[in-house]
């Protein structure tokens, strides 16, 4: 089975939303896809007929195994291309998303396999998100939210939740990236901000919102 670029984008969006919300609604999906709910309803019928999801009018929808498999393949390509763009072409992590959004639809499986090998079969993309292997298997790390880490502990940044350009730009400014080692000096009760230190550089303050979006390995 092959799917259009649009279908693949819907499948991937449903996959992502299913991992954040326990029930994905038509409206939620329409917001994610920047379309109208009516458009989503049409697409749901189409994807149902292609056995990508189970759908019952007014009752909701959920990806089938086939749907999940397809989503994982698109996610795999997206993250492999992001890795390529950052590690081979020298792009910054905040520049690659829209390019990967196009590259993820290149169809050749052989190309994906060879790209994977060329990159050294990476397990994580530049944002710390796991790259599914060719069977759809994902490495799951035991991570903790930086906002919840005990004071005085040292941790290693492993992923970023909010991946907006603004957030990544801010982390760039702080010189925080995947793999950065952080020591938590103090947490301020007033606004939940934290004083942290990277190596020997001077201590700095990050807001609670930033801390909530950074995940670490302890």
Partner DNA sequence: TTAAATTTTTAGATTTGTCTAAACTTTTAA
Partner DNA sequence: TTAAAAGTTTAGACAAATCTAAAAATTTAA
> Can you give the binding site for its own copies, defined by CB under 8 A?
85, 88-91, 95, 98-99, 102-103, 105-108, 110-111, 114-115, 118
Q: Are 120 and 175 in contact (CB under 8 A)?
A: no
Choice between 105 and 187, CB closer to its own copies: 105
Interaction residues for Mn ion, span 28-87 (CB under 5 A): 82
With CB under 5 A as the contact rule, the residue among 31, 101, 133, 195 that binds Mn ion is 101
Q: What is the dihedral of CA 126, 128, 131, 137, to 10 degrees?
A: 170
With CB under 7 A as the contact rule, the residue among 11, 13, 44, 74 that binds DNA is 44
Name the segment binding DNA (CB under 7 A); options: 31-39, 102-110, 134-142, 181-189: 31-39
38 interacts with DNA by CB under 7 A: yes
With CB under 7 A as the contact rule, the residue among 11, 13, 14, 26 that binds DNA is 26
Choice between 2 and 117, CB closer to DNA: 2
Please choose which of DNA, its own copies, Mn ion, none residue 89 contacts, taking the beta carbon within 5 to 8 angstroms, the exact cut-off set by kind: its own copies
Please choose which of DNA, its own copies, Mn ion, none residue 127 contacts, taking the beta carbon within 5 to 8 angstroms, the exact cut-off set by kind: Mn ion
Provide, rounded to whole angstroms, the least separation between the CB of residue 64 and Mn ion.
21
The 8 Å CB, 24+ separation contacts for 59-64 are 60/23, 60/24, 60/25, 61/14, 61/24, 62/18, 62/24, 63/11, 63/14, 63/15, 63/18
94 interacts with Mn ion by CB under 5 A: no
144 interacts with Mn ion by CB under 5 A: no
Which residue from 16, 14, 34, 35 is spatially nearest to 25, judged by alpha carbons? 14
> CB under 8 Å to 170, separation ≥6 — which residues?
210
57 interacts with DNA by CB under 7 A: yes
Q: How many chain residues are in contact with DNA, going by CB under 7 A?
A: 26
Binding residues for DNA, rule: CB under 7 A, are 4, 6-7, 25-28, 33-46, 55, 57-60
């Amino acid at each position: 089975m092959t799917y259009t670029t649009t279908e693949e984008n819907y499948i991937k969006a449903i996959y992502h939303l299913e991992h954040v919300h326990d029930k994905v609604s038509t409206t939620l999906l329409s917001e994610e896809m920047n379309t109208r709910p009516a458009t989503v309803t049409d697409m749901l019928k189409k994807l149902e007929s292609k056995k990508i999801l189970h759908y019952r009018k007014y009752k909701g929808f959920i990806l089938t195994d086939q749907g999940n498999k397809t989503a994982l393949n698109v996610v795999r390509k997206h993250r492999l291309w992001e890795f390529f763009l950052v590690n081979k072409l020298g792009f910054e992590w905040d520049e690659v998303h829209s390019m990967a959004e196009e590259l993820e639809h290149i169809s050749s499986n052989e190309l994906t396999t060879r790209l994977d090998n060329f990159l050294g079969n990476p397990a994580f993309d530049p944002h710390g998100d796991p790259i599914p292997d060719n069977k759809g298997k994902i490495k799951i790390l035991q991570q903790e939210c930086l906002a919840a880490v005990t004071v005085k502990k040292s941790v290693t940044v492993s992923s970023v939740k909010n991946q907006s350009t603004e957030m990544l730009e801010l982390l760039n400014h702080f010189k925080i990236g995947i793999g950065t080692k952080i020591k938590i000096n103090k947490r301020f009760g007033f606004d939940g901000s934290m004083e942290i230190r990277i190596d020997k550089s001077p201590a700095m303050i990050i807001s609670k919102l930033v801390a909530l979006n950074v995940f670490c390995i302890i």
